[in-house]
Structure 1
Amino acid sequence: MLFDRVKELSEQRGENLKSVAQKLGFSENAFYKWKTQSPKSETLEKVADYFDVSTDYLLGRTDKKRYNSEKNDVQTIAAHHDGEEWTEEELEEIEEFKRFVAMRREARKHKEK
């Protein structure tokens, strides 16, 4: 699935796998190795960033390319905090958790298919 997704994304950009590998600093055959070997997480993240997709999309865990897009199913989260003030860092953690929950939901939907 991983190889197929990378190949498809490359073709959508009008690029071949060799040129994408070169741009990312990989060996020419790097993506072909993914047919039988899993890449390191850092490598997978680099490819996801290049194509602006989630790693779960590359791995076939979801068909949704990005989780933090405006089309996200979760629009608003209300939290009761008994008068506590939230720091910017805490608010970002809440946003990260929201993206994580949405990602898990999509992964479950995909797994149920």
Structure 2
Amino acid sequence: MLYERLQELIKKSNKSMNQIERELGYPRNTISSYKRQNPSTKRLDELAEYFNVSVDYLLGRTENRKEDLTDEENDLVRAFRIEAEDMTEEEQAQFNKSLKDMMKIAKDLLNDDSNWKK
């Protein structure tokens, strides 16, 4: 899916793959190598930024080209994905539940003024 999305975006940009690789400072044939292998997280971020789309769009996880997230939210999403990438589905479900529980606790702490008085 990634390579197909990149081909679509390259075509719409009216640039060649080689031209885009030069602009991004990538070695020749880097993008075409994504037919067979996945890029690093850094490269995914660079490509998403270059084409002004989300990483999820590049990977085919969504049809929405751009997420309306803040930089901090994007950092959290990246951290979540890195931590969860080698987990089984069951482990991911447990991980997600524990994160949701932790967010509730954090919000309760935030709303308790006694935690913020000096």
TM-score, structure 1 as length reference:
0.60
Task: Confirm or deny that 1:3 pairs with 2:27.
Answer: no
8 Å contact kept, 1:7–1:16: no
8 Å contact kept, 1:10–1:17: yes
- Secondary structure of 1:18's counterpart equals helix
Instruction: Provide structure 1 residue ranges, at least 5 long, that are not aligned to the other structure.
Output: 70-91, 101-113
For residues 86-97 of structure 1, the aligned pairs below 5 Å read 96=73
What is the letter of the counterpart of residue 48 of structure 1?
A
| Structure showing greater Rg | 2
TM-score, structure 2 as length reference:
0.58
Number of aligned residue pairs: give it: 75
Task: Confirm or deny that 1:60 pairs with 2:83.
Answer: no
Q: For residues 45 and 11 of structure 1, what CA distance do their matches in structure 2 show?
A: 19
Q: Which has the higher contact order (CA 8 A, sep 6+)?
A: 1
For residues 69-108 of structure 1, the aligned pairs below 5 Å read 96=73
More helix by share: 2
| Structure 1 ranges of 4+ moved more than 6 A | none
What is the letter of the counterpart of residue 18 of structure 1?
N
